[in-house]
């Protein structure tokens, strides 16, 4: 896999992607992604502020949406794209991205794994209008017998109110002086992200490590209707 660094403050377009490649964008670079010549993987990393990516016209990022709008990257953020090429038809069928446009994949039923999945209801919390969960008391949070760390992805299937089930990111772990705070993950923060049959894989935990869960029920209104997440077969 090649690695290329794009200098600062450039607007560039690559005609064709003929290999797997890592592109490192300096500050202010706007990159128009090419049409791939075959099945390709592309990693784009922003090393400076103001970097962004645009997909070529006719390349989809999932759900029938063409990514002609700029995808802004935070400093240090890596965008992982997988390009599919239909040789028989001569068409570039999709450009799927993880990270900045995770919601597009969620709409197709794809979710990145979670580190932990709840084995029981969490200590009491209050949910904000945006779905952020803040503990009602100070204390460190553990999920399935494991202490959480900042930025962990956490799955909740046992929420006291079913509309709070889903995937969250640990914004604050909680301690003796502060409550835990969980923020909805970008791939589970809206109705279109919650797809029946979508799978959620669990990496760690005292009892649920290396298990799989499935979204089995959701009536369609985010933060109003209960989300049911059950163990997969």
Using CA atoms, how far apart are residues 206 and 196, in angstroms rounded to an integer? 27
Domain that holds residue 157: 116-231
Torsion of CA 62, 28, 112, 191, to 10 degrees: -60
**Of 41-45, 140-144, 215-219, the least confident:** 41-45
**Residue at 125 is within a domain:** yes
Asked if pLDDT for residue 43 goes beyond 70, the answer is yes
Pairing type for strands 212-218 and 199-201 reads antiparallel
Q: What are phi and psi of 94, to 5 degrees?
A: -165, 155
The 3-state secondary structure of 4-56 reads: EEECCCCEEECCEECCCEEEEECCCCEEEECEECCCEEEEEEECCCCCEEEEC
Residues 143 and 179 both lie in one domain: yes
CA angle 87, 91, 94 (to 5 degrees): 110
3-class DSSP assignment, residue 78: strand
DSSP letter string, 146-202: EE--TT-EEEES--SSGGG-EEEEEEE--BTTB--EEEE-TTSSSGGG--TT-EEEB
**Tokens (6 digits) for 154:** 């956490």
Whether the CB-CB separation of 125 and 139 falls below 8 Å is answered with: no
Residues 138 and 211 both lie in one domain: yes
As a whole number of angstroms, the longest Cα–Cα distance in the chain is: 62
**Tens digit of each residue's pLDDT (9 = 90 or more) over 120-176:** 999 999 999 999 999 999 999 999 999 999 989 999 999 988 999 999 999 999 999
**pLDDT band for position 214 (cuts 50, 70, 90):** very high
**Residue at 107 is within a domain:** no
Residues 92 and 126 both lie in one domain: no
Residues 49 and 128 both lie in one domain: no
Asked if pLDDT for residue 32 goes beyond 90, the answer is no
Q: Which residue has the tokens 């997440």?
A: 229
**pLDDT band for position 35 (cuts 50, 70, 90):** low
Rounded mean pLDDT, 37-41: 64
pTM greater than the 0.75 cutoff:
no
**Residue at 109 is within a domain:** no
**Residue at 137 is within a domain:** yes
Residues 40 and 138 both lie in one domain: no
Using CA atoms, how far apart are residues 157 and 127, in angstroms rounded to an integer? 15
């Amino acid at each position: 896999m090649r690695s290329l660094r794009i200098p600062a403050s450039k607007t560039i377009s690559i005609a064709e992607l003929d290999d797997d490649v890592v592109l490192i964008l300096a500050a202010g670079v706007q990159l128009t992604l090419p049409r791939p010549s075959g099945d390709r993987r592309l990693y784009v990393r922003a090393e400076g502020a103001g970097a962004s990516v645009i997909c070529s016209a006719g390349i989809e990022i999932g759900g029938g949406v063409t990514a002609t709008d700029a995808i802004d990257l935070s400093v240090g953020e890596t965008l992982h794209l997988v390009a599919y090429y239909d040789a028989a038809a001569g068409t570039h069928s999709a450009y799927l991205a993880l990270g900045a446009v995770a919601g597009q994949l969620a709409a197709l039923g794809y979710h990145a794994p979670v580190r932990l999945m709840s084995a029981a209801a969490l200590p009491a919390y209050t949910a904000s209008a945006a779905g952020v969960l803040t503990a009602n008391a100070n204390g460190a949070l553990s999920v399935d017998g494991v202490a959480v760390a900042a930025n962990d992805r956490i799955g909740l299937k046992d929420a006291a109110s079913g509309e709070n089930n889903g995937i969250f990111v640990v914004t604050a772990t909680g301690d003796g002086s502060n409550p835990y705070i969980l923020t909805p993950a970008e791939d589970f923060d809206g109705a279109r992200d919650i797809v029946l049959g979508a799978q959620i894989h669990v990496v760690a935990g005292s009892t649920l490590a290396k298990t799989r869960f499935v979204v089995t029920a959701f009536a369609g209104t985010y933060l109003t209707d209960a989300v049911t997440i059950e163990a997969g077969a």
